[in-house]
């Protein structure tokens, strides 16, 4: 994961703590496992949703293609759910083994969130098992209804975990008296000011990532169909459902992203200055993006005043500054990919609107080629956004309260854990890909239907 390299630019620990090598290894291990897990978690949120959409269409139309897609997608979701459970368990252990100072001191504050996440996880696992086993054993309507808790529990599980991260960015629900945590209020900790914006931002991002990843698989299939002179309806519907989900979420994410940036500007000024490349405090801040610069534009966009004063990195104490180049680069990668995906989604929506006049418009080879890369691009954008959030908070593990170096396990040998994790995850990844590839070769059902399709007719 690129997150691993980006997170290595960190402040060395104080004397008496872990060695610099172990400190870097702990950060790299946490970055790698989080970066690995977040993509799986995104698929775990989105894939059950598109599965239910396909099954709903099957119930409405009686079309076997929708039913076969739903069956395949939930089987894949089951495999990835198992892998995500493994990677999530590793993360749970890492919190205690790598960052005991953090868990010992503040675990009582946010522990309720993890407990609720565990309950949601078990509900999701139970109903996913019922859903998978219930094919051809339950009535179609009852089977569909067993999938609803899978979607809801997946969303709740992600939201509960997000409350912990949002708390790390905006700690609430406790008091520090002589360095000891007192007056713990778990609900205040969960519903801290950052929770709404972070939860909505991540859930939309997860739906986008899953939608575009699944659609990219069928985009490749459609390109092969064109090359072979075939018109495979199975691939067209398999592309249209998840891509439509990603396309709908893309413009919503722009709005929520603007909300998130404004929240950061008001509550984490060092992170905002690093994201936007604001080096000096001044009135009328220019907007900089890569090699472009627009005078006064950042002040105008953020405060609706072209001459508003915005704080730069020079107003932040040196020891409290995040690695600005890492944060700015990751932020710009996220924005660039987001704009590209928004443009692709806009073209899809325009083609859908005009399908009666230009029915072949969205299936042009160049569109499918770009769509085939959308899954990877969406995943990279998510990793870049997560890097912006986490590295931008540095040097704090709990913003303004506890530094990352204070939370590290002081015992030697942490770097060996990183080596073991890399090997285990390499094997896990290879096994997962092998299983999914075997599932791909199952012959699809492609019965015709007189009902209107979700996608523009080819």
pLDDT tens profile 88-100: 888 888 888 888 8
Q: Angle CA(396)–CA(330)–CA(375) in degrees, nearest 5?
A: 125
Pairing of strands 180-182, 396-398: unpaired
Q: Does the pLDDT value for residue 367 go beyond 90? A: no
Partners of 398 in beta bridges: 402
Which pLDDT does position 441 carry in this prediction? 58
Which pLDDT does position 355 carry in this prediction? 65
Q: Angle CA(195)–CA(196)–CA(199) in degrees, nearest 5?
A: 75
Which one, of 373, 367, 363, 388, lies nearest residue 337 by Cα? 373
**Between these two residues, 210 and 136, which has the higher pLDDT value?**
210
**Between these two residues, 446 and 295, which has the higher pLDDT value?**
295
Region 383-392: what's the mean pLDDT?
90
What confidence tens digit (pLDDT) does each residue in 29-68 have? Answer: 888 988 888 888 888 888 999 999 999 988 888 888 888 8
Q: Angle CA(455)–CA(201)–CA(206) in degrees, nearest 5?
A: 50
Question: Max alpha carbon distance in the chain (Å)?
Answer: 74
Q: Can you tell me which residue has the tokens 């996440």?
A: 117
Region 386-400: what's the mean pLDDT?
90
H-type alpha helices, 170-232: 186-190, 195-228
Which pLDDT does position 448 carry in this prediction? 46
Percent of the chain scored above 70 by pLDDT? 89
Region 292-296: what's the mean pLDDT?
82
CA atoms of 11 and 33, how far apart (whole Å):
20
Residues contacting residue 426 through CB under 8 Å, at least 6 positions apart: none
Question: pLDDT category, 352, cuts 50, 70, 90?
Answer: confident
Residues contacting residue 395 through CB under 8 Å, at least 6 positions apart: 10, 11, 319, 320, 322, 403, 404, 405
Which one, of 326, 320, 328, 327, lies nearest residue 403 by Cα? 320
DSSP string, 48-111: HHHHHHHHHHHHHH--HHHHHHHHHHHHHHHHHHHHHHHHHHHHHHHHHHT-HHHHHHHHHHHH
Query: 3-state class of 181 per DSSP?
Result: strand
Q: Does the pLDDT value for residue 399 go beyond 80? A: yes
Q: Does the pLDDT value for residue 213 go beyond 90? A: yes
Q: Number of helices (H) and strands (E), helices first, in the chain?
A: 14, 8
Region 351-360: what's the mean pLDDT?
59
Which pLDDT does position 231 carry in this prediction? 67
Q: Does the pLDDT value for residue 378 go beyond 90? A: yes
CA atoms of 111 and 316, how far apart (whole Å):
32
Element (H, E) at 282: strand 282-283
CA atoms of 308 and 269, how far apart (whole Å):
15
Highest mean pLDDT among 10-24, 219-233, 366-380: 366-380
Surface-to-core class of residue 331, CB atoms within 10 Å of its CB (0-12 exposed, 13-18 middle, 19+ buried):
buried
Q: Does the pLDDT value for residue 212 go beyond 90? A: yes
Instruction: Determine which of 16-25, 73-82, 317-326, 402-411 has the lowest per-residue pLDDT on average.
Output: 16-25
What confidence tens digit (pLDDT) does each residue in 229-242 have? Answer: 676 788 888 898 99
At 105, phi and psi to the nearest 5?
-85, -40
CA atoms of 410 and 389, how far apart (whole Å):
26
């Amino acid at each position: 994961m690129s997150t691993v390299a980006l997170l290595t630019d960190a402040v060395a620990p104080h004397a008496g703590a872990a060695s610099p090598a172990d400190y870097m290894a702990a950060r790299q291990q946490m970055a790698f496992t989080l970066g690995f897990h977040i993509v799986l978690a995104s698929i775990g949120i989105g894939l059950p949703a598109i599965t239910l959409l396909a099954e709903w269409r099957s119930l409405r139309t009686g079309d076997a293609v929708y039913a076969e897609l739903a069956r395949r997608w939930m089987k894949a979701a089951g495999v990835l759910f198992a892998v995500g459970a493994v990677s999530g368990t590793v993360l749970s252990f890492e919190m205690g083994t790598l960052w005991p100072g953090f868990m010992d001191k503040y675990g009582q504050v946010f522990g309720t969130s993890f407990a609720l996440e565990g309950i949601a996880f078990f509900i999701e696992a139970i109903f996913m098992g019922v859903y998978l086993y219930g094919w051809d054993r339950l009535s179609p309507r009852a089977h569909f209804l067993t999938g609803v808790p899978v979607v809801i529990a997946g969303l709740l599980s992600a939201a509960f975990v997000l409350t912990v991260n949002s708390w790390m960015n905006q700690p609430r629900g406790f008091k520090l008296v002589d360095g000891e945590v007192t007056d713990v209020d778990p609900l205040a900790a969960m519903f801290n000011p950052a929770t709404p914006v972070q939860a909505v931002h991540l859930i939309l991002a997860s739906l986008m990532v899953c939608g575009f990843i699944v659609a990219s698989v069928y985009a490749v299939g459609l390109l092969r169909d064109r090359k072979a002179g075939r018109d495979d309806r199975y691939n067209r519907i398999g592309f249209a459902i998840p891509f439509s989900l990603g396309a709908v979420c893309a413009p919503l994410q722009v709005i929520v992203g603007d909300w998130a940036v404004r929240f950061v500007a008001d509550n984490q000024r060092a992170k905002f200055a690093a994201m936007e490349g604001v080096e000096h405090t001044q009135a009328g801040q220019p907007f900089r993006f890569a090699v472009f610069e627009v005078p006064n534009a950042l002040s105008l966009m953020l405060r609706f005043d072209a001459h508003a004063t915005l704080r730069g990195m020079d107003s932040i104490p040196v020891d409290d500054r995040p690695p600005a180049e890492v944060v700015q680069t990751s932020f710009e990668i996220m924005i660039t990919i987001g704009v590209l995906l928004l443009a692709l989604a806009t073209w899809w929506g325009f083609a859908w609107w005009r399908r009666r006049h230009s029915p072949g418009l969205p299936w042009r080879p160049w569109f499918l080629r770009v769509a085939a890369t959308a899954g990877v691009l969406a995943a990279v954008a998510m990793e870049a956004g997560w890097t912006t959030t986490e590295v931008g908070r540095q040097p704090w593990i709990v913003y303004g309260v506890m530094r990352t170096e204070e939370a590290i396990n002081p015992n030697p040998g942490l770097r060996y854990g990183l080596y073991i994790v890399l090997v285990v995850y390499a094997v896990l990844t290879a096994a997962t890909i092998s299983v999914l590839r075997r599932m791909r070769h199952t012959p699809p059902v492609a019965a015709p239907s007189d009902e209107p399709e979700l996608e523009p007719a080819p």
